[in-house]
Amino acid sequence: MKSFLSRFKKPAAQILVPVSALALSSAPAVGQTVNLNCPQQVVFGYHYPCGNGSLQIRPDGVTNIVGCLITTLPAQAGSCRVNVTGGVPTRSVVVSFAASSAMIKMGVDNFVFDDLRMKRRGGTATVTQLTLSPTQLTGVVIVDIGGTVNFSGNQAAGAYDGNLTVNADFN
């Protein structure tokens, strides 16, 4: 499991949303271990909400803004690295989110980070759960992560934090 730490910084109505990750591994195959490392944070950037809306960052890094939001720092998708050690992979690995959303808080104020999606880098499918075949696992597989935050024009300024758990387990 990998835990994503999210940070929203909103000095003077500005929001920064980095989401970092923590990895878990599992070892059901004899001598083999699934490794998950998420070095790249999901960053929604610095923004000035001027009304209600949402900001989506897709796993491929493309952003979509609904509503009124002025952006001063671009968003970027997060990424995790998945590999199997202990010999040639013989089983597939499932990468999934532990929950469908995460609450990102600052004091009593919060955002919901939802519509979580992942995509194998170089792949075409954007999904909530990804199955990697033994053939795909002969090297390191990069899984890109994205999602959506909803905001209001009166969102409190500050640094917002939260966790999102990603699992990687043998199938």
pLDDT tens digit sequence for 42-67: 877 666 777 888 889 899 989 888 88
Confidence of residue 68 (pLDDT cuts 50, 70, 90): confident
Task: Give the SS3 label for residue 136.
Answer: helix
Q: What is the pLDDT of residue 74?
A: 76
Residues 6+ apart with CB under 8 A from 30: none
Contact between 124 and 118 under an 8 Å Cβ cutoff? The reply is no
pLDDT at 78 over 60: yes
Non-local CB neighbours of 48 within 8 Å, separated by 6+ positions: 13, 14, 15, 69, 70, 72
Element (H, E) at 170: strand 160-170
Range 134-160 average pLDDT: 87
CA dist., res. 91 & res. 27, Å (int)? 11
Which range marks the domain in which residue 107 is found? 2-170
Average pLDDT along the chain: 79
Triad 61, 17, 161: Cα angle to 5° = 135
Total number of domains constituting the chain: 1
pTM of the complete model: 0.79
The owner of tokens 């998420």 is 38
b/e map 22-58, b = 16+ CB within 10 Å: bbbbbeeeeebebbbbbebbbbbbbbbbeeebbbbbb
pLDDT for the residue 91: 93
